[in-house]
């Protein structure tokens, strides 16, 4: 009984002195790069924006892989995934530095509109539903409220990568209002 008591006290003392990270890194951090080229189709976008960006991003420090999508609406998205444990802020700075290097070689329409970068994590932290008590507000109002009020507050939370609202913003509103964080 005395040995058990001594071990228990030693365990409590060791537990209080050991550094323990509250939420360990589970998913690798990702950096998303967004570019718009108005009037360009997916093929043109991939050749004039995607290829130069991907070439300059290849080999950025601690990068594991990257993937990209080009749309016929003139939108381009590059997702760069880094090793687990990589500092997301430092990865974002490294990506932005590489974008600055390639900016003069991109079409002027793209650089005028700007190239946006965003740090995210590949896993979803949670969902929050925006509902109307007693059904007094319709889905369009709830979606608009989520876009204009809820996302702004959640994006200011330290350590939160991205906030998305599921649902159409204007004419169509067949989806429920959910905010992902």
Percentage of the chain exceeding pLDDT 90: 34
Give 139-175 pLDDT, tens digit per residue: 888 888 888 888 888 878 776 667 778 776 654 444 4
Those residues with Cβ within 8 angstroms of residue 122's Cβ, 6 or more apart along the chain or in another chain: 27, 28, 30, 81
- Please count the residues of the chain: 181
H/E run at residue 83: none
Give 82-118 pLDDT, tens digit per residue: 998 888 889 999 999 999 999 899 999 998 988 998 8
Q: What are the chain's domains?
A: 29-121 (3.30.70.1430), 127-180 (no CATH)
């Amino acid at each position: 009984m005395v040995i058990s008591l001594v071990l228990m006290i030693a365990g409590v003392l060791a537990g209080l002195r050991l550094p323990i990270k509250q939420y360990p890194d589970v998913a690798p951090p990702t950096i998303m790069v967004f570019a718009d080229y108005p009037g360009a189709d997916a093929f043109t976008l991939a050749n004039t924006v995607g290829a130069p960006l991907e070439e300059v991003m290849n080999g950025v420090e601690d990068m594991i892989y990257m993937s990209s999508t080009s749309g016929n609406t003139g939108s381009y998205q590059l997702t760069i995934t880094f090793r687990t444990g990589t500092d997301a802020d430092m990865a974002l700075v490294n990506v932005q530095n590489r974008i600055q290097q390639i900016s003069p070689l991109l079409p002027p329409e793209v650089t005028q509109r700007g190239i946006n970068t965003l740090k995210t994590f590949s896993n979803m932290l949670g969902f929050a539903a925006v509902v109307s008590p007693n059904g007094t507000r319709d889905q369009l109002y709830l979606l608009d409220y989520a876009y204009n009020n809820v996302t702004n507050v959640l994006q200011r939370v330290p350590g939160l990568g991205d906030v998305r609202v599921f649902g159409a913003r204007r004419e169509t509103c067949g989806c429920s209002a959910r905010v992902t964080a």
